[in-house]
């Protein structure tokens, strides 16, 4: 996890020169500056007592939703479709100052229920109770994905009693947590583009046909992940309130740079913040006992189409457990008009300024947050004195924490709901398709997730109808388009209708998904370029105008994440015509095929087979041309071995020009150690003439 603060130890620690002291030239134990502001042991308050210690922004109230013993050491919360709260626990994190027994299988996923409807959880069930520090979870078709230190599990409750009956390890995940728990994969956050994103990770995940699909992704953040109605991703690191990017829409916002960061790292607590890791440094503690800047930022959540109304639209709520606060950052103007944010803080009679939410309880540790199905912000309180991991614990912090008795008790934890005083309940959707148009983003994303991950092909007609309904909510239509794309059922008519919409975001989504309507991911089809040129002439937000202009002239920008350096073979370099086709084909391959088959030609598990050293690539040219033009369906074998786990269809690429297909095939037949004859545009043309009556993809048996 990523908490930069409190902790302690007894006397044995000195023999183990902690890494937190490694760079210091002076003995950090010499400073007792904390005694000036916080000399006494820290009291332990009950959940009810701690609730009274909060100060929150005007117009809001704080409600206690759950507390120990129902939950212990919570770090993650989500809800199932029935409104039950699921909590991930980190029960063996720093159970003592030595960080003993961290790998014990004692952590749990708890299911909490509100049986009497009073807003407070009154029933708990342990779904699983034998995990190593549960980091996050995600509901998928058929079960629940649970991430612990080192592994991603698929857990199933087969008899409906909310207890896991069967669990299966899918992949190694968050493996670095065994040695460095603050810096390991976490989140499983489902976003608009049908992928689950993670902090401290170089991959994104998807659940398709009961299997995990992985794809390279930009590394983001340290703990927690959020997104908004526009598909922007929000993340942070310990000394930065937040960062946001719009890679989902080809990085068309902000106008400069690839992301936007918080305008400040200033923080305003309402109590002294002495128990922080580096506070022995001169100037770290202000004269009033507080610290000026954040060093303990943890998870975050974004209010996007929730219960707080338009005045709070796009607000980022970021957790600062070291200062016992939650910060709020409001967009200066509605998206996409500005990339500036305002740090929202409030007058305080004692401390002059305070954050959106602040507590005088030093054990209040807001480590994560989520927007719930009711549109409200839920804050996860780890409620510990010691939350700095042993790996980074300085002697200064250890000594202070020991003397102030911050090391115990453990096994506490609270979850709070931040509710607007004029909160009005909004009913859940009646079904998945209507859920795509729900006023709350939480329900729209959950409905989309269930449709896509459940492979609900029976809903395609209704979803397609919504996508084309000019009277429907533009955001509902956007979710319908992404749902169709996730199902592999996005049609050209739906995309063209979206592009022609007067709503800028719906139009932009149509442009973004034009390639997928042709069965490709990263290639903007030439047939859409005139329409994009028309959009570029509109009076519309600059973001849409510049994007449509770019697409009409150059097509999609590169979406590649992992850099692959192609090495041209000697025989390619010696043949000028072959070299020219090879290089043009390489450029086309990147935007047309690379997302699935990957830049190195090795393919992706559960997504696409390898092309490197493949007999499909190096065999009969008629076969590889046929697959490129008309596609391939059904089971296949590569080099005599059955291909398992990948979709049973390769989409046709016949909409591409003869020259484009010829160059791509020439490239793949001579890249990654492959060696084969080039393919010409004339060969593609001859094939089209001979197979002009064919409409459906080939099968292996036909070849």
* Same domain (yes/no): 505, 576: no
Cα(594)–Cα(602) distance, integer angstroms: 10
Its pTM stands at: 0.88
* Same domain (yes/no): 583, 547: no
- In the chain, how many domains are there? 3
| Average pLDDT, rounded, for the chain | 92
Report the pLDDT value the prediction gives residue 6, as an integer from 0 to 100.
Answer: 35
Sign of the torsion angle spanned by Cα atoms 535, 541, 544, 545: positive
Sign of the torsion angle spanned by Cα atoms 665, 671, 675, 678: positive
Q: What are phi and psi of 152, to 5 degrees?
A: -115, 125
- Could you tell me the CATH number of the domain that includes residue 190? 2.120.10.30
Task: With respect to residue 662, please indicate whether it lies within any of the assigned structural domains.
Answer: yes
Task: With respect to residue 325, please indicate whether it lies within any of the assigned structural domains.
Answer: yes
* Same domain (yes/no): 182, 127: yes
pLDDT exceeds cutoff 90 at 393: no
* Same domain (yes/no): 245, 127: yes
DSSP string, 214-280: EEE-----SS--EE-TT--EEEEETTEEEEEE-GGGTT--SSSSSEEE-S--B---SS----BTTTT
* Same domain (yes/no): 550, 602: no
pLDDT in tens, 403-456: 999 999 999 999 999 999 999 999 999 999 999 999 999 999 999 999 999 999
pLDDT exceeds cutoff 60 at 8: no
Domain boundary, last residue among 529, 554, 579:
554
Residues, the chain: 703
Burial of 287 (0-12, 13-18, 19+ CB in 10 A): exposed
Q: Which residue has the higher pLDDT, 311 or 599?
A: 311
* Same domain (yes/no): 529, 576: no
Q: What is the mean pLDDT of residues 677-697?
A: 93
Measured distance between the N- and C-terminal CA atoms of the chain, rounded to whole angstroms:
53
C-alpha angle 590/198/382, rounded to 5°? 170
Task: With respect to residue 308, please indicate whether it lies within any of the assigned structural domains.
Answer: yes
Classified as helix, coil or strand, 77 is strand
* Same domain (yes/no): 499, 643: no
Task: With respect to residue 515, please indicate whether it lies within any of the assigned structural domains.
Answer: yes
- Could you tell me the CATH number of the domain that includes residue 617? 1.10.760.10
Can you give the residue range of the structural domain that contains 630? 570-690
Cα(678)–Cα(674) distance, integer angstroms: 12
Task: With respect to residue 163, please indicate whether it lies within any of the assigned structural domains.
Answer: yes
pLDDT exceeds cutoff 90 at 562: no
Distances in whole angstroms, Cα of residue 219 to Cα of each of 192, 225, 229, 393, 653: 18, 12, 21, 25, 31
pLDDT exceeds cutoff 90 at 582: yes
* Same domain (yes/no): 479, 602: no
Report the pLDDT value the prediction gives residue 4, as an integer from 0 to 100.
Answer: 36
Task: With respect to residue 234, please indicate whether it lies within any of the assigned structural domains.
Answer: yes
pLDDT in tens, 36-95: 999 999 999 999 999 999 999 999 999 999 999 999 999 999 999 999 999 999 999 999
Q: What is the mean pLDDT of residues 228-248?
A: 96
Report the pLDDT value the prediction gives residue 27, as an integer from 0 to 100.
Answer: 67
* Same domain (yes/no): 384, 466: no
Report the pLDDT value the prediction gives residue 1, as an integer from 0 to 100.
Answer: 43
Domain boundary, last residue among 495, 527, 554:
554
Task: With respect to residue 429, please indicate whether it lies within any of the assigned structural domains.
Answer: no
| Token couple for 619 | 């065999």
* Same domain (yes/no): 263, 142: yes
Domain boundary, last residue among 528, 554, 580:
554
* Same domain (yes/no): 70, 170: yes
Task: With respect to residue 505, please indicate whether it lies within any of the assigned structural domains.
Answer: yes
Q: Which residues, other chains included, contact 659 with Cβ-Cβ below 8 Å and sequence gap of 6+?
A: 681
Containing H/E element for 137? strand 136-140
* Same domain (yes/no): 192, 158: yes
């Amino acid at each position: 996890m990523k908490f930069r603060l409190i902790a302690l130890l007894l006397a044995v620690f000195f023999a183990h020169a902690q890494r937190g002291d490694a760079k210091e030239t002076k003995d950090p134990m010499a400073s007792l500056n904390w005694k000036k502001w916080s000399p006494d042991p820290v009291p332990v308050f009950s959940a009810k007592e701690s609730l009274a210690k909060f100060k929150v922004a005007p117009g809001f109230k704080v409600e206690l939703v759950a507390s120990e013993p129902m939950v212990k050491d919570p770090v993650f919360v989500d809800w199932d479709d029935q409104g039950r709260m699921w909590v991930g626990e980190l029960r063996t994190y720093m159970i003592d100052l030595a960080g003993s027994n961290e790998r014990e299988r004692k952590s749990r996923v708890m299911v909490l229920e509100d049986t009497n409807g009073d807003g407070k959880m009154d029933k708990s069930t342990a779904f699983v109770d034998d995990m190593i520090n549960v980091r996050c979870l995600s509901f998928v078709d058929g079960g629940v994905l649970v991430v612990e230190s080192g592994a991603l599990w698929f857990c199933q409750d087969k008899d409906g009693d909310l207890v896991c009956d069967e669990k299966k390890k899918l992949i190694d995940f968050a493996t670095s947590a065994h040695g460095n728990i603050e810096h390991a994969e976490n989140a499983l956050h489902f976003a608009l583009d049908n992928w689950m994103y993670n902090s401290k990770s170089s991959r994104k995940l998807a659940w398709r046909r009961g299997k995990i699909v992985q794809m390279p992704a930009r590394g983001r953040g340290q703990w927690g992940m959020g997104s908004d109605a526009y598909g922007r991703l929000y993340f942070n690191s310990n000394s930065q309130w937040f960062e946001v990017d719009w890679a989902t829409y080809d990085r068309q916002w902000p106008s400069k740079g690839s992301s936007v960061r918080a305008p400040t790292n200033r923080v305003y607590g309402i109590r002294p913040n002495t128990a922080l890791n580096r506070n022995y440094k001169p100037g770290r503690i202000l004269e009033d006992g507080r610290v000026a800047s954040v060093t303990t930022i943890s998870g975050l959540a974004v209010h996007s189409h929730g219960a707080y109304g338009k005045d709070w639209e796009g607000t980022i709520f970021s957790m600062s457990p070291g200062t016992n606060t939650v910060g709020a950052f409001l967009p200066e103007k509605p998206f996409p008009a500005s990339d500036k944010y305002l740090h929202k803080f409030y007058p305080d009679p004692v401390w002059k300024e305070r954050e959106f939410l602040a507590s005088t309880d030093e054990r209040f540790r807001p480590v994560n947050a989520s927007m719930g199905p009711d549109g409200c912000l839920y804050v996860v309180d780890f409620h510990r004195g010691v939350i700095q991991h042993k790996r980074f614990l300085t002697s200064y912090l250890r000594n202070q924490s020991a003397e102030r008795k911050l090391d115990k008790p453990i096994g506490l934890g609270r979850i709070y709901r931040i509710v607007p005083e004029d909160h009005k309940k909004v009913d859940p959707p009646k079904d998945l398709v209507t859920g795509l148009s729900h006023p709350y983003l939480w329900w729209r994303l959950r409905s989309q997730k269930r449709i896509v991950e459940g492979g609900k092909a029976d809903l395609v007609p209704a979803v397609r109808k919504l996508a084309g309904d000019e009277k429907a909510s533009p955001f509902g239509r956007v979710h319908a388009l992404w749902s169709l794309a996730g199902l592999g059922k996005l049609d050209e008519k739906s995309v063209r209708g979206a592009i022609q919409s007067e709503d800028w975001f719906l139009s932009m989504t149509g442009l973004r998904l034009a390639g997928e309507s042709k069965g490709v991911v990263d290639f903007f089809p030439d047939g859409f370029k005139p329409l994009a040129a028309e959009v570029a002439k509109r009076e519309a937000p600059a973001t849409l105008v510049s994007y449509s202009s770019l697409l009409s002239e150059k097509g999609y920008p590169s979406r590649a994440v992992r850099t692959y350096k192609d090495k041209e073979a000697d025989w390619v370099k010696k043949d000028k015509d072959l070299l020219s086709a090879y290089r043009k084909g390489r450029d086309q391959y990147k935007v047309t095929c690379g997302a699935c088959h990957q830049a190195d030609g090795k393919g992706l598990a559960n997504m696409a087979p390898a092309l490197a050293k493949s007999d499909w690539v190096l065999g009969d040219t008629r076969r590889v041309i046929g697959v490129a033009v008309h596609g391939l369906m059904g089971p296949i074998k590569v080099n005599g071995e059955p291909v398992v786990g990948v979709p049973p269809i390769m989409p046709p690429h016949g909409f591409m020009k003869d020259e484009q297909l010829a160059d791509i095939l020439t490239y793949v037949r001579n890249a990654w150690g492959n060696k084969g004859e080039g393919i010409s545009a004339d060969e593609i043309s001859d094939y089209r003439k001979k197979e002009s009556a064919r409409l459906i993809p080939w099968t292996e048996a036909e070849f």
